[in-house]
Amino acid sequence: MLYQLPDKLLNKLSPINQLSSSGREKLGEKSHITQVKPGQMLSSENLNQWYIYLVKGRIQLKADGTPSTVIDVGSKNIFEPLFNNAQAHVRALAQEPCHILRFEKQLFNTLLEKERQSGTEVVEISVNEAQGELFKQVFQAYHAGNLDLPTMPDVAMKIAKTADDPDAGIEEIVKIVQLEATVAGSLIQAANSPLYRGTKQIDSIKNAIVRLGLKTTRSLATSIALRETFQVKSTQIKQAIHGLWEHTVNISALSYAIARRVDGFDPEYALMAGLLHDIGAIPILKYLEQNSTSSTPDELKDSISKLRAMVGVLVINYWGLDSELITVVEEAEDWHRDNKPEPDYCDIVIMAHLCDAMHHKGSEEFPKPSEVPAFHKLGLVSQDEEEKLQIFSEAEEEISGIRNLLNG
């Protein structure tokens, strides 16, 4: 049944709270409340077109490869969707009569896209006249179809589509990966690395996928294929793109290592979040290359730093990725972000970014880890009185392994 929801509740629900008040009202008008009987099972595969929330009762959640958890209206994560986009094959078993609130994802994405296209976010960032004009030009080029947005690698799209097909099996994935020599070789390398290594050496892509599992294969293949996005022929921006890739790989490796040490997170998804956090810089660099500009290198660097998040949102929406990655793109450099008590993937990328910055640029320019909310929410630990994170000493081998995997 349709149900009119108060904005006070909608403002707490993630990712619904990314909408403006009027957007939440429009979405709330189309919300549904469903009654679920004790013993009834809900499955993420059958409800992936909805954002699902528990508003009454008690439910047991079970995801593949993780212990089951029980949530009720008093749980800390009650304002998060029951089915996280980063998890696959999640089942929810009603332990008592429940009321389930659901929103259509497509409607949410449509409303969010309209709000982002309205340009309201530009005023929330301190930009000068030249930077505002640059974003205006980039945005107009985007709507005219003249902005060179990076495309999602073909192998990533094929694997995602096949992995979502309930009738497809490992053989179909093997056929796709075998056509991409770089991805195939990297997956075999991953299967034999200390991160996933078993007792026997792997020498075939099929055995590599069996060892890694379909979910990990999908995430790693997508991340490996994203390397193509950072490849350019132009000598004008090649150096800038190369530097961007090196930075991105560092953030991805650290995000992976942090996620491995915090309960409730998928390391491979964290790796991909790290890879995408600066994706908006690529269309800006290509646009500046194609259109002459009188800006100095420092001015261009500053412009890209301020505008990459807004353009990155265009890329994430263009690829049809989930809202969690939009949050990462928008807020991964907000050291003092503290919009909810529970940690998320953006918190992981924030700490990876801070850890990398302090390691390569020194600690003087950045806040101490203990001053960053994400540090406490993730339960991380400082190594000494200078507050150097333990992650470098604890995870040196796996960070190196991820870097090698992504660099090929």
**pLDDT band (50, 70, 90) for residue 37:** very high
Average of per-residue pLDDT across 114-120 = 57
**For residues 166 and 89, is the Cβ–Cβ distance under 8 A?**
no
pLDDT at 350 over 90: yes
**Phi-psi bin for 400: left (phi > 0), alpha (psi -120 to 50), beta?**
alpha
Q: Is the pLDDT of residue 215 over 70?
A: yes
Average pLDDT of the residues in 7-26: 76
Q: How confident is the model at residue 67 (pLDDT cuts 50, 70, 90)?
A: confident
Q: Which H or E element spans position 125?
A: none
pLDDT grade for 345, boundaries at 50, 70 and 90: very high
pLDDT digits (tens, 9 = 90+) for 225-267: 888 888 777 776 778 888 889 999 999 999 999 998 888 898 8
For range 198-219, the mean pLDDT: 84
- For residues 7 and 19, which has the higher predicted lDDT (pLDDT)? 19
Write the CATH number of the domain with boundaries 7-107: 2.60.120.10
Higher per-residue pLDDT: 308 or 385: 308
- Give the model's pLDDT for residue 380: 79
Residue 87 has pLDDT above 60, yes or no: no
Residue (of 344, 318, 346, 322) closest to 49 by Cα position: 322
**Percent of the chain, pLDDT > 90?**
12
> Across the chain, what does the average pLDDT equal?
79
Average pLDDT for residues 52-56, to the nearest whole number?
90
pLDDT of residue 40: 92
- The torsion defined by the Cα of 176, 180, 186 and 189, in degrees rounded to 10, comes to 70
pTM of the model: 0.65
Segment among 125-139, 305-319, 329-343, 358-372 with least mean pLDDT: 125-139
Interatomic CA distance for residues 395 and 217, integer angstroms: 22
More confident residue, 274 or 32: 274
- At residue 109 the predicted structure's pLDDT band, cuts being 50, 70 and 90, is confident
CA 20 from chain center: how many Å?
A: 22
Per-residue confidence band for 6, with pLDDT thresholds at 50, 70 and 90: low
Most confident of 18-32, 98-112, 206-220, 241-255: 241-255
Give the start-to-end residue ranges of the domains of the chain. 7-107, 149-231
CA distance between the termini of the chain: 52
Q: Which amino acid is at 205?
A: I
Is residue 212 within 8 A of residue 221, CB to CB? The reply is no
| 403 contacts 253 by C-beta, under 8 angstroms | yes
- Write the DSSP assignment of 312-354 as a string of letters: HHHHHHHHT--HHHHHHHHHTT-TT--SSSS--HHHHHHHHHH
Q: Omega into 97 within 30° of 0, i.e. cis? A: no
Of 378, 406, 389, the residue nearest 250 (C-alpha): 406
Instruction: Give pLDDT, residue 290.
Output: 75
pLDDT tens, residue by residue, 140-157: 777 666 677 777 777 777
